[in-house]
Amino acid sequence: MTVAATRVLVLNGPNLGRLGRRQPEIYGSTTHDELVEMCRSWGHELGLDVEVRQTNHEGVMLDWLNAAADEQTPVVLNAAAWTHYSWAIYDACAQLAAPLVEVHISAPSTRPEEWRHTSVVTPHAARVIEGHGLEGYRMALETIAGR
């Protein structure tokens, strides 16, 4: 008998679709498509069925988070700029029953812009991973897999 892999959503917010082109000195040269493949591969190694999505539209992200809440699906969330001000994202994350891991490629808490130092996601996260580049996504998936 085969056991089904745990489904995990990796959700990326605004501008992350431009990875590899947007501020590579901060976010690196790996593209979002390459990140998708990396997350799927890491998930497979961990026995997870990983689906990676990216949107620049807050309502779409809210729909995904609401569905994850309804389906009790674990979420790895890089809410990008929404991290710092979206009370709608805060409310959606509050509904999640399965683990939520907040991930950031850079370390917003140490960036020079004061507004980046606050996260509306953190109060609902089982773990926050920041400043580890794309490796942070692997760490987040390992957290969900229970490693």
Give the residue numbers marked as catalytic.
27, 104
Q: Is 17 helix (H, G, I), strand (E, B) or coil?
A: helix
Residue 90, number of CB atoms within 10 A of its CB: 18
Let me know: does 112 contact 15? Beta carbons within 8 Å: no
Taking each helix axis from N to C end, the angle separating 58-71 and 87-94, rounded to the nearest 10 degrees, works out to 10
* Residues in binding site for substrate: 78, 84, 91, 105-106, 116
